[in-house]
Structures are given as structure tokens and as C-alpha cells.
Amino acid sequence: MHNSAMKNRYLRLFSAMVLAAVLAACSSTNLRGPAPVVSRDVNLGNQPTPAGFHRVQAGESLVAISRLYSVDWKDLARWNNLSDPNKIEVGQMLALNGPAQAKAAPQPESSGVVVKPISSGSAEPAPAKEAAAEPAPAPAEKPRATAAALPLQLVWPAEGPVVAEFDGNNNKGIGIGGQLGAPVLAAADGRVVYAGSGLRGYGNLVIIKHDDTFLTAYAHNQALLVKEDQVIKQGQRIAEMGNSESDVVKLHFEVRQLGKPVNPMTYLPSR
């Protein structure tokens, strides 16, 4: 009888110790972990992105972002203090122009109060004499550059009407309509620096670097016909038109100068 009571007592004590250990293990487990770049309901479209920055979208990779802005991904990682380049988060702001830009935070709106510095000299500067206000002559209107004077001369990358115009903000290129599988052509000689689907919103994408200043991007393709580091000639077929990450069949075409989007219509010949 005595032995049975002692046995039950030891069993209850052992069970309590096991339960305490399990609870301690659960409380110390890190359930969060690093946030992967995955699709989720994050409304980033209404949040303005400051100049010189890129806001990470779901599905993007650091390499794809670096190719779009014609910078080295290693520089991009260093400028943004990324210890692991494979870990970027949705909504994260990436500086595109080096350490000085990375340290610059978006400034709040001005309060309208002007703060004047105190002069280090003992005497106040004499007030400037008021001069008769004369209207400045209007600058002469500069003629539009001709095709021969442009630093980059392109051919149309696809046949079809322009269905979306460049505005530099919501649309960083133009949209060219067409049929599924229609040929997409290289707008100028160059080298393929990206061919894939790692940049959110562009679908199957080709980026061609033409020189140290200009590159062109071809998005929403059905199929890609070139590979990275391949040398391309102007007019060469590089893809088939499609609707990857697009609601309609079209080619989204961008021209970037030093990583900044510019209006492709400036460099394309008149039809």
C-alpha cells in the first residue's frame, strides 16, 4: 500500500515536470522568422516613392531590381546595408544612388516657417537697393531634337497602336497593343542584362543595355527568346508578345537613361 502511494506520487511529479518543459519550449520558439517576399494584400500604389528609391513589391528579387536600374546588385546591397541580399521585404525602400542617398530619409511637408540663420558678423548687411522690376525676356523655344541629333536611335519594338502613354509616374513607359505571340524586336544593338520574371508587375521581362547610359525594357511577354549576356542586334526578335502580369495582350516598353525612365516617344521614329 505504501509502495503504491509512493509510485503515484512519483508519476504525478514526473508529469508536472514534462508539462513545464513543453510549455517552456513553446514560449521560447520564434514563430516569426524573416518575412519572405510573397504576395499579400499590401496596398502600396497610393504611397509615393521618393526620387532615387525603389519600393519593393511582392515577388521581386534584388538582382532583377538592380538590372532594371542598371546598377550592380552588390552595390545595391551595400548601399542599403543588406547583410543577406536574398532577404528583402515587401514595402521596403531601397536607395538607388549610394550611401548619401541611403541615409536621406523622406522629408515631411514644410510648415511654411522660414528660419533665417544668425549672422556671424557684428554689422548687419545693408539692404539691397530696389531696382525697377523689368520683366525678364522669355527664353527662345528650343527646337525638338531631330533623330540624327539624339544619342540613341531606336526602331519600334512591335507593330500595333500605342495603348498606354508615358507619364513618368504611374506609367514609366508606353504600351503597344498587338496579338498574342506577335514578334517583339530589339529597339537597338546591345547586350541582354536580364531575361526572366523576377520583377513584380513586369511579367516575363527582357532588359537590354545599349551603352553606359541607356537601356530598354520589354515586359509582359508570352515567351522569351534570348538569354542573359547575349549580344543583340537592332531589329532582332527577342520575345513573343503576351499578357504575363497584364490584363490585356500588350508590350510594355521602357527607355531608361542612367536608370531613370524617359519618354520612349522621344527616341522612336514617327510612324
User: What domains, with CATH codes, occur in the chain?
Assistant: 53-103 (3.10.350.10), 152-266 (2.70.70.10)
* Neighbour-count burial for 244-266, b at 16+ CB within 10 Å, e otherwise: bbbeebbbbbbbbeebebbbbee
Quickly state the pLDDT bin for 77 (edges 50, 70, 90): confident
Pick the residue with more confidence: 22 or 265? 265
CB 215, CB 256: distance < 8 Å:
yes
Q: How far apart are CA 220 and CA 202, in angstroms?
A: 6
The pLDDT of residue 162: 96
The pLDDT of residue 5: 60
Pick the residue with more confidence: 51 or 18? 51
The pLDDT of residue 66: 84
Helices (H), the chain: 2-28, 62-68, 73-79, 99-103
The pLDDT of residue 10: 59
| 225 closest CA partner among 200, 201, 208, 209 | 208
Of the chain, the percentage scoring pLDDT greater than 90 comes to: 41
Instruction: Taking residues 166-195, report their average pLDDT.
Output: 95
Pick the residue with more confidence: 137 or 9? 9
The pLDDT of residue 68: 84
CA dihedral 29, 34, 35, 36 (to 10 degrees): -120
* Neighbour-count burial for 59-98, b at 16+ CB within 10 Å, e otherwise: bbbbbbbbbbbbbebeebbebbebeebeebebbbbbbbbe
Mean pLDDT of the chain: 75
Amino acid identity of residue 231, one-letter, is V
Instruction: Taking residues 88-92, report their average pLDDT.
Output: 86
Most confident of 25-34, 79-88, 229-238: 229-238
Quickly state the pLDDT bin for 97 (edges 50, 70, 90): confident
Q: How far apart are CA 79 and CA 50, in angstroms?
A: 16
pTM of the model: 0.56
